[in-house]
Amino acid sequence: MRLADFILRDMERIVAQWEAFAVTLLPAAASMDSLALRDHARPLLEAMAADLSTSQTPEAQSQKARGRAPQLADASHTAAQTHAILRAQGGFDINQLAAEYRALRASVLQLWIDECRPEGPHVDDIIRFNEAVDQAIAESVRSFSAEVDQARNLFLGMLGHDMRSPLQTIQATASFLAGMNAGEAVAAAANRLIRTGARMQLLLDDLCDFNRTELGLGISCVPAEVDLVAVFADETDQLRAAYPGRRIMLEAPVSLPGVWDGPRLQQVLANLVVNAVRYGAPDMPVRVVMTGDETRVRFEVRNAGPAIEPALLPRIFDPLQRGPEAGAGNGNLGLGLYIAREIAAAHGGTIEVRSDDQETVFTVSLPRQTVIRRARR
């Protein structure tokens, strides 16, 4: 008997074995009924049987074995893709998803081979079936991963939104305490809260912006006429308060007017300066140097200290990249430089880095009259 005919004839027996294995995939399976456990098993098997009965070219066979078979134009999702999405929503992990296909492959082939005795099975059918399973796994893994990423990004978005209010309350209370004449101990504690709150706010802003880019929303910018020197003077004052033990110097002309999103560029500056404080020589200043002409402005954040490793430079602006000195508890998500790049790109600008044993310099170049665009990954 050919394998396609066997699958269609013994569909119920195969699906029963699928369910018997799926029920062992705990804890997710514990809360699922028979219908949910059998989810899309029948359409999957029907698709595989149809594939076995269809002739294919060697090229198509090769592509399918690599999980690259073309999807039908009128099908938004294959059975394998839909199955993966529902399994992700049901709490399965990706290893359990793959295990279902391994168990399906083993049970179908064993049942069919037993049915073929004493005659041997058709070897071509075994090859074609394995290719069909590999294609289904590839489709499922892609859809499962996308669904998990989407759920994670939505969770991070809600978390970031919900954390803003309590953090703002902490910062406002700390500022109120700092303004009271309650003694040096209270003032010192309030200032520690203010500095810690500022660092938490920076991390939260980076997390929320990263989440927006992951959701495809890009970095939101609201351009207005601003004097970038005044904007950066305010930000460097705040950074000096947050890092009282470090020298942060601003070297700038009298003014640099233009059309930008001032708070967003303050965020860029803060991320670059915090990076310089974290990795630069502690006894040397962090210098912010601003220049400009009729069409562009540039600002550099310069610090002395160890050079950035050459292997890290090409990916230093990628998300979740951290220097080798960054420990798990240093409050660094590895998003600051990525966010800085995205904000610069949203302004039509660029950001570059050069580093040697003498100095590390991050240079941001921006057009004077900015056309804000949504930055995407």
Ordered by start, the domain boundaries in the chain are 3-153, 224-367
Q: What is the pLDDT of residues 28-74, one digit of tens each?
A: 899 899 999 898 899 999 989 998 888 888 887 777 766 677 665 44
Per-residue pLDDT, 98: 93
Q: Is the pLDDT of residue 112 over 90?
A: yes
Closest listed residue to residue 23, CA positions, set 6, 10, 41, 7:
41
What CATH number should be reported for the domain whose range is 224-367?
3.30.565.10
Q: Is the pLDDT of residue 327 over 60?
A: no
Rounded average pLDDT over 261-280: 91
Percent of the chain predicted with pLDDT > 70: 87
Per-residue pLDDT, 313: 86
Per-residue pLDDT, 148: 84
Closest listed residue to residue 264, CA positions, set 300, 233, 201, 222:
222
Task: Give the lowest-confidence range in 105-114, 182-191, 253-262.
Answer: 182-191
User: Cβ distance 331 to 350 under 8 Å?
Assistant: no
What CATH number should be reported for the domain whose range is 3-153?
1.10.490
Q: What is the pLDDT of residues 135-160, one digit of tens each?
A: 899 999 999 988 887 777 767 666 76
Query: d(Cα 215, Cα 318) in Å, to the nearest integer?
Result: 16
Residues 60-97 as b/e (b if ≥16 CB within 10 A, e otherwise) read eeebbbebebeeeeeeeebbbbbbbbbbbebebeeebb
Per-residue pLDDT, 331: 47
Radius of gyration of the chain (CA): 29
Q: How confident is the model at residue 161 (pLDDT cuts 50, 70, 90)?
A: low
Pick 327 or 160 by higher pLDDT. 160
Q: What is the pLDDT of residues 218-264, one digit of tens each?
A: 777 888 999 999 999 999 998 888 888 899 999 999 999 999 999 89
Prior bond of 27 cis (ω within 30°): yes
How many residues would you count in the chain? 377
Per-residue pLDDT, 351: 95
Enter the pTM of the model: 0.56
Looking at 23-91, list the stretches that DSSP marks H as alpha helix, in order from N- to C-terminal side: 34-37, 41-52, 58-65, 79-89
DSSP 319-344: TT---TT--TTSS--S-HHHHHHHHH
Rounded average pLDDT over 146-175: 76
